[in-house]
Structure 1
Amino acid sequence: QSKQAMQVGTAHSDPNPNHIYFNSRGIWMTYIIFILIAHFIILSIPFISVGLAWTLTCQVHNFITYLWLHWEKGAPFEPLDQGESRTLTHWEQLDDGVQFTANKKFLLVVPTVVFLLATFYSRYDQIHFIANALSLVVLSIAPKLPMFYRVRLFGINKW
């Protein structure tokens, strides 16, 4: 449960809107549309096959979401949480840190579906499969596991 405080002149009552913005109406569909737009942009590049386009979509998606959810810390605005979110990644702030919410399950399922699409459209090519599987596990699944909550491996990204 998030601490609520009365804030005169603000549009929300949450000290850190990073906790709840992913509950906004239409955000899941917008996220999927962005993935599809990126895929169609990659697919429009000459000499790129459909399988390679899906592999690149998978790689780019996993890298960008890793940076967005698991590398960047703090908030893109000045939160009113007295600096509590300053050292937390976006994933750690999402849904006020509660594990296995609908949003967090969605953010686990989407990269898996993109991986399956990339595997299928690359016709189960071994090189594509290994690249996509490594990207999926290292960048999209492992950082989301509860055992890595607030953990900085080897002190990387600690501050």
Structure 2
Amino acid sequence: MRSRPSGVIIYGDGCVGYPLIYPQLTTLCLLRKGRDYFVSTPKRLELISVCIKMLSGGHGEVNPNSSWHSSRGAWLSYLAGVLALHLFLLSIPLISIPTAWTLTNVIHNLANYLFLHQIKGTPWQLLDQGKSRLMTAWEQIDYGQQFTTTRKFITIIPIVLFLLTSFYTKYEFNHFAINFATLLLVLIPKLPQFHMVRLFGINKY
């Protein structure tokens, strides 16, 4: 039996106890199947539901970091952020239109790489025995399932942005080379073949 500072106890049989939060609850067994959680306990299922939400950041998910990307609000905020960045760069008098497009693409791709493929862990306290600490945000999306709608959406955006940038820069070589290089930077880590792979040990720990 292993204890945690928060009062959560992980038993060897996979059950989770909350002796400090709800002493009247002995054990809580969670069996995950897809996104459904089957709970077995003899007392007060409503308290169990509250307890799960408290420990998982209020979402009722084992790992909320795997699901919030699927929110249509998150998608809209993502697109709005890219548009706002581009309009801001266009509003600067010293920046030409081709340069504004290239800067939009480069800034977007660098931010995409940093937040999805470089930063690891979650801002929530999870019950996964620290597994998520070694996983990037991209690897946590939809619990690692490949080719989901969310993964396709996040993959398509850099490609569409690259095509628009190439068109508005008239395929000028310098712009094209920079934009294509940053496109590869965010596309290659998204391939299923590179799931949980650390090339040359980069970002391994």
Normalised to the residue count of structure 2, the TM-score between the two structures is 0.73
One-letter amino acid of the structure 1 residue matched with residue 137 of structure 2: H
Q: Does 1:141 align with 2:187?
A: yes
Deviations 1:36-91 (A, max 9, x none): 00111111222111111010000000000000000000002222322121100000
Q: Does 1:44 align with 2:86?
A: no
Q: Does 1:156 align with 2:202?
A: yes
- Contact in 2 for aligned 1:3/1:15 (Cα 8 Å): no
* Correspondence for 2:50: 8
Q: Secondary structure at 1:100's aligned position in 2? A: coil
Q: Does 1:96 align with 2:138?
A: no
Aligned counterpart for 2:168 among listed residues 118, 121, 125: 121
Alpha-carbon distance, 1:8 to partner: 2.5
Q: Counterparts of 2:78 and 2:126 in 1: how far apart (Å)?
A: 24
Find the structure with the greater CA-based Rg. 2
Alpha-carbon distance, 1:3 to partner: 7.2
Moved more, 6-15 or 47-56: 6-15
One-letter amino acid of the structure 2 residue matched with residue 148 of structure 1: F
Q: State the percentage of identical aligned residues.
A: 47
- Higher strand proportion (structure 1 or 2): 2
- Higher helix proportion (structure 1 or 2): 1
CA-based RMSD of the aligned residues comes to 1.5
Deviations 1:106-131 (A, max 9, x none): 11110011111111111111110111
* Correspondence for 2:128: 81
Q: Counterparts of 2:35 and 2:198 in 1: how far apart (Å)?
A: 24
* Correspondence for 2:117: 70
| Structure 1 runs of 4+ with >3 Å offset | 2-7
Q: Secondary structure at 1:33's aligned position in 2? A: helix
Structure 2 residue runs without a partner (length 5+): 1-33, 40-47
Structure 1 residue runs without a partner (length 5+): none
Number of corresponding residues:
158
Q: Counterparts of 1:77 and 1:7 in 2: how far apart (Å)?
A: 17
